[in-house]
């Protein structure tokens, strides 16, 4: 686990600057403020990409690209929402752009499965089963579940990121958890998944 | 995971309670319910177990290279940002990669469509051009027909075109000179036309037409009787057709011409050939046509005489003389055509027309052909039909397969690309 932390204005320890304060300081030229923000979110954001992108190097690039986008947009930053929401919104946009480009390449190269390799080639059986089960969820429900479980976002934040009502987020999250529970209770892998698993272990 | 519909707290509320997303009052209510409901408490336990399971999906630490690159970029940007705002994104951020696949696919589809339309137009033009060239090569009637060139078959009801109205300036000039020399106004065609008043015929000219359809028992005997009737009434067959098709009754279709005075007796004789199925008679008054034609002939002759007079007393150039001779020739041709039409009209009046249809009573005949012959004929017909079908298919393919392939490519390639794009996107 990547020790995901929730350090927003609602959960900051006493005496520690909030993310929004740090971002405001960075907008006024404080390099230290950005270093602190980077320290807080480098691992969560890398985990965000790593769980969604097959290639580890690509996840690093996307992480770097997201922070670069934050730096470039600092002059236009307005603290209308939590910095965490702002950061993951940037991450989702960059991820969507990457997926479109990858899909466009796959349209002509015909190798979309190359991007479907598991994110982490760990040896743990449970980790493999988890990846397979999450991958079988509906796309939107999977995104909501991952934002909730791994990024620890609230329903409101998820709704803002995905442009969904809170009630929809709640109902879809419930369905995702229900489906994932059933998948983990009866993880019957398909022939393809079993073959991929054999290749992976080899 | 169990859904508990009968519980006062919805499962989604229990999940929200587990996630800390309920208000304090709602959370208190759910907590109170959980204390007394083991099923709902187990639901919370299942949520907890699921979250605990997901923590096993670990991710490696972010590499140091990312940290170095980002911090370095931040330091550089911080140093340069004081000089001004960063540049605006290209095309206000519209061209951010989102529309790239659609734009490329759309441009490719448009290009293919334009190529297809261009090829189609070229093919169509290649087929049309020969017809256009034929049209272009036709003589320009507006420039060539300076004289009187009305066709001989012009309807009598239309006003006849006066040759003087279309005479060339050279002829008019010569006519003026001739008139001046002679001092005789009656020499001009217009004057002669005014002097000639139309004459009317007192007796009407009627063109009789009759139609008969007769069913006969023996067509050969009826045909012989028909010849005898024609000879007796001094008539003749303008047109006669005998049809004899297998499995169908024989028939004779004829257009007879009988002197008008003997029309009634001829019809009476024809009725004796068999059973009359249909009979009709009509008469067309062509007196006015005949009168109009006679007047036009008279006028044209006067015009011809005037031209000849001009030619005899010519004082103009050689070209003018030639032009007058051409006009005389043209008027002469028109006169002859009108005279022929007049003769034909008079002939229609003198000889009545009988459209005769003789049908033989049909008798079914026992087929005499042997089975082997019929089998042979059927085989030949079947082979011919099959070969025609194969030939039609081959010709169709040769003619249209290339176009069909092009249009299929125009439609299918973009559709295939879009499908593959969406499929790849859904897998990511």
Based on C-alpha coordinates, what's the Rg of chain B? 50
pLDDT higher than threshold 50 for residue B189: no
Say yes or no to pLDDT of B176 above 90: no
Q: Does B16 touch chain A (CB under 8 A)?
A: yes
- What pLDDT shows up at residue B394? 94
pLDDT of B65: 86
pLDDT at B185 over 70: no
Among B20-29, B59-68, B281-290, name the one with the lowest average pLDDT: B59-68
Cβ atoms of A119 and A132 within 8 Å: the answer is no
CA separation for the pair B109, B103 (Å, rounded): 10
Bridge pairing between strands B351-360 and B206-216? parallel
Is the pLDDT confidence value at A189 over 70? no
Q: Which pLDDT band holds residue B319 (cuts at 50, 70, 90)?
A: confident
Burial of B107 from C-beta contacts in 10 A (0-12 / 13-18 / 19+): exposed
pLDDT tier, B99 (very low <50, low <70, confident <90, very high otherwise): low
What does residue A184 show for φ and ψ, rounded to 5 degrees?
-75, -30
Query: DSSP 3-state helix, strand, coil percentages of chain A (rounded to 5)?
Result: 70, 0, 30
Give the residue among B199, B266, B282, B279 at the shortest CA–CA distance from B234. Answer: B266
Q: What is the mean pLDDT of residues B187-207?
A: 53
- Average pLDDT, rounded, for chain B: 77
| Interface check B63 vs A, CB under 8 A | yes
Q: Chain A interface, mutation test: which of B62, B84, B414, most A Cβ atoms within 10 Å? A: B62
Considering only A122-126, B53-57, B319-323, which range has the smallest mean pLDDT? A122-126
B185: three-class secondary structure by DSSP: helix
Which residue among A64, A96, A177 places its CB closest to the CB of B70? A64
Identify the pLDDT of residue A145.
94
Give the model's pLDDT for residue A188: 60
Say how far apart CA B323 and CA B57 lie, in whole Å: 109
A4 to chain B, any CB pair closer than 8 A? The answer is no
Confidence (pLDDT) at A105: 83
pLDDT digits (tens, 9 = 90+) for A142-162: 999 999 999 889 999 999 999
The whole-number pLDDT of residue B127 equals: 56
Contacts of B11 in chain A (CB under 8 A): 174
> Residue A22 above 60 pLDDT?
yes
Q: Which of A1, A107, A115 sits opposite B101 (nearest CB)?
A: A107
Lowest mean pLDDT segment, chosen from A56-65, A167-176, B367-376 = B367-376
Q: Does A38 touch chain B (CB under 8 A)?
A: yes
Enclosing H/E stretch for B281? strand B275-285
Which residue reads 């709640």 in tokens?
A170
Q: Does A195 score more than 70 pLDDT?
A: no
**Does B199 score more than 50 pLDDT?**
no
Residue B342 has pLDDT above 60, yes or no: yes
pLDDT band for position A55 (50/70/90)? confident
**What pairs with residue B213 in β-bridges?**
B278, B357
CB contact (8 A) between residue B67 and residue A42: yes
Tell me the C-alpha distance between B416 and B428, whole Å: 18
Q: Helix (H, G, I), strand (E, B), or coil: what is residue B236?
A: strand
Q: Considering only CA atoms, which of B420, B412, B423, B419 is closest in space to residue B108?
A: B412
pLDDT at B134 over 90: no
Smallest CA-to-CA distance from A84 within A19, A128, A23 is with: A19
Beta carbons within 10 angstroms of residue A4's beta carbon: 16
The pLDDT mean for chain A works out to 79
For range B30-37, the mean pLDDT = 87
* pLDDT average, residue stretch B313-321: 78
Q: What is the mean pLDDT of residues B101-114?
A: 80
DSSP code per residue over B189-208 = HHHHHHH------SS--EEE
Q: Which of A71-75, B190-194, B395-399 has the lowest average pLDDT? A: B190-194
- Across the interface, of B3, B19, B74, the residue whose CB is closest to A34 is B74
Enumerate residues 56 to 85 of chain A having a beta carbon within 8 A of any beta carbon in chain B: 56, 60, 63-64, 67-68, 71-72, 74-75
Q: pLDDT tens across B226-264, in order?
A: 999 999 999 999 999 988 877 788 899 999 999 988 899
Residue B177, CA distances (Å) to B17, B147, B161, B170, B323 in order: 123, 20, 24, 11, 16
Q: Does residue B95 surpass a pLDDT of 80?
A: no
Tens digits of residue pLDDT in A118-136: 444 444 677 778 888 888 8
**Number of other CB atoms surrounding residue B250 within 10 Å:** 18
Average pLDDT over residues B395-421: 90
Which of B21, B74, B86 faces A75 most closely, judged by CB atoms? B86
* Model confidence at B354: pLDDT above 90: yes
* CB-based contact A38 B428, cutoff 8 Å: no
- Count of beta carbons in the 10 Å neighbourhood of residue B214: 21
pLDDT at B329: 93
Helices A155-162, A139-149: crossing angle, 10 deg rounding: 140
Per-residue pLDDT averaged across B265-284, rounded? 91
Neighbours of B88 (CB within 10 A): 8
């Amino acid at each position: 686990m990547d020790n995901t932390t929730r350090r927003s204005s609602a959960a900051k320890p006493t005496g520690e600057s909030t993310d929004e304060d740090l971002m405001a300081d960075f907008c006024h030229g404080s390099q230290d403020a950005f270093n602190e923000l980077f320290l807080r979110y480098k691992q969560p954001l890398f985990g965000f990409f790593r769980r969604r992108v097959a290639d580890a190097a690509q996840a690093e690039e996307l992480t770097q690209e997201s922070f670069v986008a934050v730096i470039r947009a600092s002059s236009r930053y307005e603290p209308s929402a939590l910095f965490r929401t702002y950061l993951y919104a940037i991450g989702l946009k960059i991820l969507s752009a990457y997926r479109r480009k990858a899909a466009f390449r796959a349209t002509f190269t015909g190798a979309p499965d190359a991007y479907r390799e598991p994110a982490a080639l760990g040896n743990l059986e449970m980790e493999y089963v988890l990846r397979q089960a999450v991958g079988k969820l509906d796309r939107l429900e999977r995104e909501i579940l991952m934002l909730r479980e791994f990024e620890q976002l609230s329903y409101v934040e998820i709704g803002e990121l995905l442009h969904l009502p809170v009630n929809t987020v709640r109902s879809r999250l419930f369905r995702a958890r229900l489906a994932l529970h059933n998948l983990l209770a009866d993880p019957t892998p398909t022939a393809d998944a079993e073959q991929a698993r054999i290749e992976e272990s080899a | 995971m169990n859904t508990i519909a009968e519980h006062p707290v919805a499962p989604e509320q229990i999940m929200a309670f587990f996630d800390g997303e309920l208000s304090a009052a709602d959370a208190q209510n759910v907590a109170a319910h959980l204390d007394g409901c083991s099923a709902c408490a187990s639901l919370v336990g299942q949520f907890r177990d699921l979250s605990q399971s997901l923590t096993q999906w670990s991710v490696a630490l972010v590499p140091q290279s990312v940290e170095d690159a980002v911090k370095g970029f931040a330091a550089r940007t911080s140093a340069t940002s004081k000089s001004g705002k960063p540049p605006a994104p290209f095309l206000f951020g519209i061209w951010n990669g989102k529309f790239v696949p659609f734009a490329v696919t759309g441009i490719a589809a448009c290009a293919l469509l334009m190529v297809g339309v261009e090829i189609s137009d070229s093919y169509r033009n290649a087929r049309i051009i020969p017809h256009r060239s034929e049209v272009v090569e036709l003589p320009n009637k507006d420039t060539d027909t300076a004289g009187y060139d009305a066709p001989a078959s012009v309807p009598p009801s239309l006003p006849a075109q006066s040759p003087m109205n279309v005479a060339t300036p050279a002829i008019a000039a010569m006519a003026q000179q001739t008139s001046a020399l002679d001092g005789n106004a009656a020499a001009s065609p217009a004057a002669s036309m005014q002097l000639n008043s139309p004459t009317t015929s007192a007796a009407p000219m009627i063109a009789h037409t009759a139609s008969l359809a007769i069913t006969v028992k023996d067509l050969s005997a009826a045909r012989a009787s028909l010849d005898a009737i024609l000879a007796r009434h001094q008539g003749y067959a303008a047109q006669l057709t005998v049809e004899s098709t297998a499995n169908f009754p024989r028939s004779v279709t004829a257009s007879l011409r009988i002197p008008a005075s003997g029309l009634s007796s001829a019809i009476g004789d024809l009725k004796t050939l068999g059973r009359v199925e249909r009979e009709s008679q009509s008469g067309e008054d062509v007196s006015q046509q005949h009168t109009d034609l006679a007047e036009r002939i008279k006028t044209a002759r006067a015009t011809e005489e005037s031209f000849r007079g001009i030619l005899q007393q010519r004082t103009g150039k050689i070209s003018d003389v030639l032009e007058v001779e051409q006009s005389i020739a043209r008027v002469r041709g028109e006169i002859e055509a009108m005279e022929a039409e007049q003769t034909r009209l008079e002939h229609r009046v003198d000889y009545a027309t009988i459209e005769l249809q003789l049908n033989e009573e049909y008798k079914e005949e026992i087929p005499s052909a042997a089975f082997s012959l019929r089998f042979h004929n059927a085989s030949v017909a079947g082979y011919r039909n099959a070969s025609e079908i194969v030939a039609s298919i081959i010709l169709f393919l040769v003619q249209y397969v290339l176009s069909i392939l092009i249009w299929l490519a125009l439609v299918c390639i973009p559709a295939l690309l879009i499908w593959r794009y969406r499929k790849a996107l859904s897998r990511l």
